[in-house]
Copies of this chain bind each other. A is one copy, B any other.
Amino acid sequence: MRRPIITLTTDFGLQDHFVGVMKGVILSIAPEAQLVDITHDISPQQIAEAAFTIAEAYRWFPKKTVHVVVVDPGVGTQRRPILVEGGGHRFVGPDNGVFSMVMERETCSVREITAQRFFLKPLSQTFHGRDVFSPVAAHLAKGVTPSQFGKKIADALRSEFAKLHRVGKRSWTANVLKVDRFGNLITGFAVQDFPQLGQCVFELQAGMERISLLVHSYAEAPPNEAVLIAGSAGYYEVVVNCGSAAKKLGLAAGSPLELTIW
């Protein structure tokens, strides 16, 4: 029998006891769980970054995996805890938009988690990662069915992070979804939406630069020049071979981009 997998994505960092505590809570309930960290270095309270990260990560895991996401600036307020089912995966976290990009990819059903019998007591006002989301994920992994946690809702918060807009006959705007560790800028232009870039003339306005070269590997890029590449996440990325595109262009997550195709 397979061990159930639980993934963790938070903005807790790794220097404190928070992540270890969540794992202790999960293993106390579901000792057979296989725990996998996606990342705990989401920038503090940056929901868009978490939304992108979990949307990139979940689909590489086996079906039935439980994905916990805790980036939760509204902890302790009336924001709801939710359980999302989609694509054969289960997601647990706050109703603050953090699963928006998963919902764009999959047809999802969403439940408000109201069954307090699965929460730790006393319930803190500041650490629902420990008191709500970890125990719910552990019980899910043990086989408690989603319907036991609460009723379906239709108004879960969905934020539009990718913001792809057509602004002219040949022009679209989007923004930088994420800057990765290498300084690559992951743009909101999905490869499947613009599959023709390799066969046409294009220009991407990114900060003060106009990029018109698409390469197939980092090594193809001329030294110190920003170019476009079809990234592994399915979006075009602005990269600088052996350098940081983010630094060279002075851009960050959220920065606007405009693509024109002839």
Contacts and interface: CB of A to CB of B under 8 A. Distances in A.
A76 B218 contact: yes
Interface residues of A, number: 70
B57 A36 contact: no
Contacts of A58: 24
A73 B218 contact: yes
A209 interface: no
B24 A217 contact: no
A61 B219 contact: no
A19 to B, nearest CB: 8
Q: How many copies does the complex hold?
A: 3
A75 B218 contact: yes
B15 A232 contact: no
Interface of A: 2-3, 5, 7, 9, 11-21, 23-25, 27-28, 31, 34-42, 44-45, 53-54, 56-62, 65, 73-77, 124-127, 130-131, 178, 180-182, 216-220, 229-233, 237, 242
> What 9 A-B pairs are tightest by C-beta distance, nearest first?
A76-B217, A24-B60, A127-B232, A20-B38, A13-B181, A15-B41, A24-B61, A17-B56, A17-B57
